[in-house]
Chain A
Amino acid sequence: MIGVLQFPGSCDERDAVLACERVDEARLVWHREAELGDLAAVVIPGGFSYGDYLRAGAIARFAPAMEAVREFAAAGRPVLGICNGFQVLCEAGLLPGALLPNAGLRFVCRQVEVEVERTDTAATAACQRGDRLSIPVKHLSGRWFAPPQALAELEESGRIVFRYAAGENPNGSVADVAGMANERGNVVGLMPHPEHAVDPLTGSADGLKLFESLVRSAAPAAV
């Protein structure tokens, strides 16, 4: 069973549940739930949690469900943050860097090509290194940023999991970063929306690989 968080202002949680249901069972987790029980993995979906007031993700990080996610992540269990979920994970300090308003100041909504650089994370275990995934982005604050020194260290330690393919960077992210992992690789966040790319009907099913990865990375259920 995969849990999909739902904050006031989330808007992609239903698509995320549908995507998860292609690989496992799934249920919504309301932001006030403080226990995640024996969920196999957690997805923090896209949207505008708490209206994105102050900064995208700034307030959601204080939700009871996020405290539970913090413990879940600390136990090494799989967590995937998508778009607003990525912003929340960065604000919570579970992933490095921050997401700034797009360099072009416009809301971008289009299909992009994303390259997979690591296959040993909770969200890429079912990918091949160098896989090129066609996944849509739709965001206003997706410009991932870290100061030069921090970026160099993250590059050095291989923390960048997804990068926009050459010429595809939609928002001005430094080093074309589209998604990151924590040190252990069990927490992954990305701006593109794999849950909107799980059926050829909508142009691409490449996003399914991330959900397959989550299931593969989940520890066997406790007996």
Chain B
Amino acid sequence: MKARVLIRPKEGILDPQGKAVERALPALGFDGVSHVRVGRLVELEAEDGADLEALCEKLLANPLIEDYEILSTGSESG
């Protein structure tokens, strides 16, 4: 199966990348955008039965500072 893992800084943790992006937007004419947070997207293909949760907890995310979400565990064509 194919899966996508979305990893982002936990709520309440200062995300300087998100802040920098947010501050740049008005200069480009994009007003009214707030709460920008920058994370990571990991795409992978795994054999059925692979323990993606454990994979995320142990390596892809650091649960102390990041939240993760496993998305679209779709079919081969996904």
B60 within 8 A of A: yes
Q: Which of B35-68 contact A (CB under 8 A)?
A: 40, 59-60, 62, 64-65
Tell me which of A54, A58, A100 contacts B13 (CB under 8 A): A100
Size of interface on B: residues with Cβ below 8 Å to A = 12
The chain B residue with its CB closest to the CB of A102 is: B16
Contact assessment for B17 and A105 in the assembled complex, using a CB-CB cutoff below 8 Å: yes
Q: Indicate if the CB atoms of B60 and A103 lie closer than 8 Å.
A: no
Assess the B62–A98 pair: CB atoms within 8 A: yes
Say if the beta carbon of B71 comes within 8 Å of chain A: no
Complex CA gap A134/B40 in Å reads 36
Q: Contact: A91 with B62, CB < 8 Å? A: yes
- Range of interface residues on chain A? 10 to 19
Chain B residues lying within 8 Å of A55, measured Cβ to Cβ, are 62
A-chain residues with CB within 8 Å of residue B64 when the two chains form the complex: 97-98, 145-147
Chain A 52-90, CB-CB to B under 8 Å as 1, else 0, gives 001100110010000000000000000000000000000
With both chains docked as a complex, state the minimum distance between the C-beta of B18 and any C-beta of chain A, in angstroms. Answer: 10
A147 to B64 Cα, complex, angstroms: 8
- Chain B residues positioned under 8 Å from A58 (CB to CB): 59, 62
**A9 an interface residue at 8 Å Cβ cutoff?**
no
Q: Report Cα–Cα, A100/B10, bound state, in Å.
A: 12
* Least Cβ–Cβ distance between A83 and chain B, in angstroms: 18
Q: Are B62 and A103 in contact (CB under 8 A)?
A: no
Quick one: CB contact mask for B7-51 with A, threshold 8 Å, 1 for yes?
Answer: 001000110110010000000000000000000100000000000
Q: Are A101's CB and B17's CB within 8 A?
A: yes
Residue of A nearest to B20 (CB): A105
Query: Complex formed: what's the CA distance from A54 to B9 in Å?
Result: 13
A97–B60 Cα distance when bound, in Å, is: 17
Residue of B nearest to A62 (CB): B59
User: What residues of B have a CB within 8 angstroms of the CB of A104 in the complex?
Assistant: 16
Render A129-161 as a binary contact track against B, CB cut-off 8 A, 1 for contact: 000000000000001011100000000000000
Besides the contacts A54-B59, A54-B60, what 18 more A-B pairs have beta carbons closer than 8 Å? A58-B62, A62-B59, A97-B64, A98-B62, A98-B64, A100-B13, A100-B65, A102-B16, A103-B14, A104-B16, A105-B16, A105-B17, A105-B20, A145-B13, A145-B64, A145-B65, A147-B64, A172-B14
Instruction: List the interface of chain A (C-beta within 8 A of B).
Output: 54-55, 58-59, 62, 91, 97-98, 100-105, 143, 145-147, 172
Top 7 A-B residue pairs of the complex, sorted by shortest distance between their CB atoms = A105-B16, A98-B65, A98-B64, A98-B62, A103-B16, A101-B16, A105-B20
9 contacts between A and B (CB under 8 A): A58-B62, A97-B64, A98-B64, A100-B9, A100-B13, A100-B14, A100-B65, A104-B16, A143-B14
